[in-house]
Amino acid sequence: MTALDARPRAGATLRFPERFRWGTATAAYQIEGAADEDGRTPSIWDTFSRTPGRVRNGDTGDIAADHYHRVGEDIALMRRLGVTDYRFSIAWPRVQPTGRGPAVQKGLDFYRRLTDELRAAGIRPVATLYHWDLPQELEDAGGWPHRETAYRFAEYAGLAAEGLGDRVATWTTLNEPWCSAFLGYGSGVHAPGRTSAVDSLRAAHHLNLAHGLAVRAVRAAVPARAEVSLTLNLHAVRSRTDAPRDRDAARRIDAVGNRIFLDPVFHGRLPEDLVDDTAPVTDWSFVEDGDLRAAAEPIDALGINYYSPTAVAAGASPSSPSRSLSPSPWAGAERHVRFVPVPGPRTAMDWPVDSGGLHELLLRLRDDLPHVPLVITENGAAYEDYADPSGEVKDPERVAYLHAHLAAVHRAIEDGADVRGYFLWSLLDNFEWAYGYSKRFGIVHVDFPTQRRTFKSSAHWYADVIARGGLPTRP
């Protein structure tokens, strides 16, 4: 009997397990606004977005979706959707401005109110401690390539956990440390915009260390029943052919894209092939005794963010396919790997639509980490959405994308992957990092000048999926 043999529910074709969690996801800097209210200090994203040329149209998160002032309204949207869980992030520079010192009550109060109101609405709060908003002072002191940042993070994690306690059902330490390390310090397309291969590897290591130390700090502060997890944007890497050279290219991307986090966190070791591949860049002497053991502090679940697969062949390419800027974020791999196009339709991000990659990834994790519960903590798509003259926002491509990816999750569960939940990215249109407000990922449309929220057809569709506990035959 598999998890799917649960009681049938009327109308649903692909039924999900009875206790499957249905959620939406957001992140603080992308939606909150209120950038300098109640003691919040600038993060690296405030600095980066205010630097000309870094973010499209000069957009910043100063106002964003004004969620800081519209929490009640946004929770009402979630109620209408019927979600069981909500994944949000806590802004470090709100709770511990400048990254040092005691917690600021007003900062904590915002998340107390959010979590209390979520609970009152019957929605489980799932909090990410770090979704890329490093306090600027900590960047000025060296940022993630600097070891001290890991200790700073553990302290902040403890303060947030003490301040919010058992209001939070699931704690996630980091969101996508690959992006923090390699887009922030390697290719420089994300804040803080630095471009050093060795710093990107140092950052990755210190993020692993920060994660493990934060797991401990959170567990010391909250009741034992709180879940603790980590979210990775694992790359579903495909080799263009079976030729050994192409397969070696895929291995390299798997090492510096995936196993650089999976091996320390789940096995307390660095991948040997990664150490070899990156020998021209570093000897890893910044890894101190006990670091890898600390990184491997046990966790309760692994979050996976998936948007599209990656296809590679032997060769050389200066950067990844979606970000055609050099320098490369792929420390140690860039001279051996060429990114090749994945066929099929594309989203407004120019990311390929390929739900098979999600299925591949989930089966790989089923095999490699058989005892680790999995949660899809982000999945979704950007399209050119607009309100038509009647005020409706129709987004059939997003519905098709979501349908295909949820069907892939369902298939993976049937195949034995222990997937416990799915969080759609995103609840609201928001500040899409280097793309600013030019890319819309929400299932709720936001008219930024008026901040008016409108359900897109995908929101109605998702509400129906949640109510049925499964997918209709066709999108």
176 catalytically annotated? yes
Q: Does 91 bind ligand FCB (CB under 6 A)?
A: no
- In the bound complex, what is the minimum distance in angstroms from residue 441's beta carbon to ligand FCB? 5
Binding segment for ligand FCB (CB under 6 A), chosen from 36-44, 175-183, 190-198, 313-321, is 175-183
Q: Which of residues 145-164 bind ligand FCB (CB under 6 A)?
A: none
Q: Does 170 bind ligand FCB (CB under 6 A)?
A: no
Query: Binding ligand FCB by CB under 6 A: which of 246, 254, 291, 378?
Result: 378
Site size toward ligand FCB, by CB under 6 A: 12
Q: Does 174 bind ligand FCB (CB under 6 A)?
A: no
Q: Mask of contacts with ligand FCB, 276-305, x by CB under 6 A? A: -----------------------------x
Residue among 17 and 329 whose Cβ is closer to ligand FCB: 329
Q: Supply 454's token pair.
A: 């409108």
Selecting among 32, 378, 397, 432, the annotated active-site residue is 378
Q: Which residues contact 343 (CB under 8 A, 6 or more apart)?
A: 352
Residue among 41 and 233 whose Cβ is closer to ligand FCB: 233
Q: Which of residues 50-79 bind ligand FCB (CB under 6 A)?
A: none
378 catalytically annotated? yes
Residue among 23 and 163 whose Cβ is closer to ligand FCB: 23
Query: Binding ligand FCB by CB under 6 A: which of 14, 21, 22, 27?
Result: 27
- In the bound complex, what is the minimum distance in angstroms from residue 412's beta carbon to ligand FCB? 20
Binding segment for ligand FCB (CB under 6 A), chosen from 173-181, 194-202, 273-281, 354-362, is 173-181
Residue among 239 and 430 whose Cβ is closer to ligand FCB: 430
Could you tell me whether strands 170-175 and 14-15 are parallel, antiparallel, or unpaired per DSSP bridges?
A: unpaired
Write out the catalytic residue numbers: 176, 378
- The residues binding ligand FCB (CB under 6 A) are 27, 30, 175-176, 179, 233, 305, 378, 425, 432-433, 441
